[in-house]
Amino acid sequence: MSLEELLKNVDVVSVHLKLSDQSKGLLNESRLRLMKKSAYFINTARGAIVDEKALFKVLAEKAIAGAALDVFVEEPLPASSPLPGLDNVVLAPHLGWPTDSGFEGFAENAVENILSYIDGKLTRALNPEAVERRRKAR
């Protein structure tokens, strides 16, 4: 499915990309306007992936339901930013970072998942039918 098709159909867009030449400005005004009026936008990746001015405009017009932002183009968010004035946005000062114990859990789960998969077990698969289709396609 294309990004545009995805944006038209989902209830929540949560950004999890590294900032690169390909991702910078990826979510511009025209793409944000594809989202449903009832949809929410979340960015915990990098601020420059979304056009902040366009996001403000879309939020101010209530073209989408709301946003939660933990990252901004300029950090900390400048006092002159209009984002804090909106009633449909939640802002955090870029503190969405896992703890050391959180990373330990991530690593342990990743290893367990890989080893289970190698053993033919799907202990945490949410869509085991997709794995079966892949196996049959081989």
Domains of the chain, earliest start first: 3-91 (3.40.50.720), 100-137 (no CATH)
**Tens of pLDDT along 24-55?**
999 999 999 999 999 999 999 999 999 999 99
Beta strands in 44-91 (DSSP E): 66-69, 89-91
CA-closest candidate to residue 32, choices 16, 18, 6: 6
For residue 15, the SS3 value is strand
Active site residue 46: yes
Instruction: Report CA Rg, the chain.
Output: 18
What mean pLDDT comes out for the span 119-130? Answer: 74
Among residues 4, 5, 74, 75, the one annotated as catalytic is: 75
Whether this model's pTM surpasses 0.75: no
Give me the sheet containing 12-15, strands edge to edge: 12-15, 40-43, 66-69, 89-91
In DSSP notation, 83-127 reads GGG-TTEEE--S-----HHHHHHHHHHHHHHHHHHHTT--SS-S-
* Cross-strand partners of 91: 69
**C-beta of residue 40 within 8 angstroms of C-beta of residue 66:** yes
What mean pLDDT comes out for the span 50-74? Answer: 97
* Residue 121 C-alpha from the chain's centroid: 29
What mean pLDDT comes out for the span 6-24? Answer: 96
Alpha-carbon distance 22 to 107, whole Å?
A: 28
